[in-house]
Structure 1
Amino acid sequence: MNTSASTRLRDYLGLKFVSVNEESICMQLLLNHRHLNQAGTLHGGVVTTMIDIACSIAVRACQDESPTGSAEPEPDADRPVATLTLNTCFLATTRRGVVTVHAQRRGGGKRIHFAAAQVKDQNGKLLATGEGSYTLKPRARQADSHSPVA
């Protein structure tokens, strides 16, 4: 399992794994100044990014054969997931504390998958919901993974 791929944005935001299994994923974010908008509240782009990252990992996790559990690294990071659609409903906001995103794969077929997520503050207040459709790309062949990209 490659734990270094696709982590730059997640690392920059400080989004941490709580748990991953074949049915759902949970991640948390400790808010700081870079997560806030000009009004001093959680930026909608951060919320949407949390939903997108969690949903794409949930889609990948349901296809992965790796062991899962608490604080598991990103499952099968060598298998790209592309977002096709993403809808976010903002219900409330927060200014500080820990924000949690829970995402689950809701269904799909061989290449197109559907996932949904909820974002809550540290008191369990629902801040946003989101759902999207994702395409799960085939695993790169070993010989292809080292070829330069034109």
Structure 2
Amino acid sequence: MSGAPVSALERSGTGLEYLQKVLSGEHGNVPIGDTVGFRMKEVSKGRIVFEGMPGANVLNLIGTVHGGYAATILDSALALSILSTLDADSNFTTLEIKVNYVRSITPGMTVRATGEIVHAGRRVATSEAKLTDAEGKLLAHGTTTCLILPRERP
């Protein structure tokens, strides 16, 4: 059984400690993951993996999975790989994201998004992520830049 979702803004501890609680089920899944169909499978400092199986709810009018699905799972992998490097006093916000589509995604296909930190600076961090199918074929890839901010506490 999984716990209720807890916002990263309300977290205690480091970003990695928070994400480990999500992975263990102590905190609920990433809410958008429940909506479109993906879950965290691995996390370590600077690296995160999500797996999903898109369903009919994310199809476009030509019968393939909407590009927004790939962008969404990649965005989570990109941003949360950065969160995994932050200390308890830091937060972040996305400045930009870029996604490149390589192959179409079909409903029921198992996909895996792996995000890894490229640069973790004091004020800016960048990461890259790849979305692959069950055989490891590249479906899409992306990059992000995030601004690191001091964490405001209630």
TM tier relative to shorter chain: 0.7 to 0.9
Instruction: Please give the TM-score of this superposition, normalised by the length of structure 2.
Output: 0.75
Q: 8 Å contact 1:29–1:100 — kept in the other structure?
A: yes
Counterparts of 1:118-129 in structure 2 under 5 Å?
A: 118-129=130-141
Instruction: Tell me which residue corresponds to 2:64.
Output: 41
Which structure 1 residue ranges, 5 or more long, are not aligned?
65-75, 146-150
Q: Mark the runs of 5 or more structure 2 residues left unpaired by the alignment.
A: 9-29
Q: Deviations over 1:8-65 (max 9, x none)?
A: 323212220110000310001112111221111121111111111111100010225x
Q: After the TM superposition, which residues 88-99 of structure 1 pair with which residues of structure 2 at under 5 Å, given as runs?
A: 88-95=99-106, 96-99=108-111
What is the identity percentage for the equivalent residue pairs of Structure 1 and Structure 2? 25
- Residue 97 of structure 2 corresponds to 86
For 2:6, the equivalent position in structure 1 comes to 4
- Alpha-carbon distance in 1 for matches of 2:5, 2:110: 24
Which aligned segments of 4 or more residues in structure 1 are displaced greater than 6 angstroms?
A: none
Cα offsets for 1:79-98 (capped at 9, x unmatched): 64311111111110121321
Does the aligned pair in 2 maintain the 1:60–1:136 contact within 8 Å?
Answer: no
Equivalent positions of 1:130-141 (< 5 A) are: 130-141=142-153
Number of residue pairs matched? Answer: 129
1:53 and 2:55 equivalent? no
- Matched residues in 2 for 1:4 and 1:60: separation? 14
- Once residues 79 and 9 of structure 1 are traced to their aligned partners in structure 2, the CA distance between those partners, rounded to angstroms, is 23
Pairs within 5 Å for 1:110-125: 110-125=122-137
Q: State the match for 1:104 in structure 2.
A: 116
Distance between the aligned counterparts of 1:94 and 1:121, measured in 2? 9
Partners in 1 of 2:37 and 2:62 — Cα distance?
21
1:85 is matched by which residue type in structure 2?
E
Instruction: Give the AA of the match of 1:35.
Output: V
